[in-house]
Amino acid sequence: MNPARAEGHEPSRWRSAWRQLPLLVALVVLWLLLWDHIDVLTVVTGVLLAIGVTRALYLPPVLLSGRFNPWRGLLLGLRMMFDVVVASLQVAGLAIWPWWKPMNSLIAVQLLTRSDLVTTLTAEAISVVPGTVVVDIDRERGLLYLHALGTRTAADIDRTRRNVLGTEERIVLAIGTRAQAESVRRARRERRAAGADAPRRGIRDDTHSGGAHSGDAYSGDAHSKEEM
């Protein structure tokens, strides 16, 4: 074997193993929680099962950015709690309002990034908020399909779309790569300069794993289908 080639593959192999480490640790912790006690046999069994699961049920590795902004993470958590409280009150009000007629929508939102991790966290964050739930994800095109409650007008649909993209931006600023975070900041400055209604642009994504090029721009329009 060519020594140079072997040296070239070794760092890649170590990087791949390092990226899988959080998943392995999470599976071992889950195994220990299921057994509700810790001993050598349980830990060893958990490690062997974690390795077996990741090998037998292989999935594309989750690419971590290696970056976490504590301040942005705190703001993300506080905003999520605020959104949950406000949305809970709104949904409760609609439920007890005797003259309210349901008018909901299925909305397709073009995400800013193609990162699998950011997409998953965005979908989870949106689904946690009462009144909205993600029903499908088009990973190749970076589309998020969600069911939104009480979207009677185009303004309601546009507000829902802005909320989704705002959530994604806050997640990127908290855990995204430096390039992604800088792209979000630059896009925000451009929107402030152009006006609040300026279309959002796709941001740079160093962890792109499929579909159209991550730097492609999009109009940010949301498509809806009303349901009675």
Residue ranges covered by each domain of the chain: 3-56, 70-227
What's residue 103's pLDDT? 85
What's residue 125's pLDDT? 94
What's residue 22's pLDDT? 76
What's residue 62's pLDDT? 66
What's residue 221's pLDDT? 42
What is the 3 state secondary structure string of the chain? CCHHHHHHHHHHHHHHHHHHHHHHHHHHHHHHHHHCCCCHHHHHHHHHHHHHHHHHCCCCCCCCCCCCCHHHHHHHHHHHHHHHHHHHHHHHHHHHCCCCCCCEEEEEEECCCCCHHHHHHHHHHHHHCCCEEEEEEECCCCEEEEEECCCCCHHHHHHHHHHHHHHHHHHHHHHCCHHHHHHHHHHHHHHHHHCCCCCCCCCCCCCCCCCCCCCCCCCCCCEEEEEC
* Residues of the chain with confidence (pLDDT) below 50: 1-10, 199, 204-228
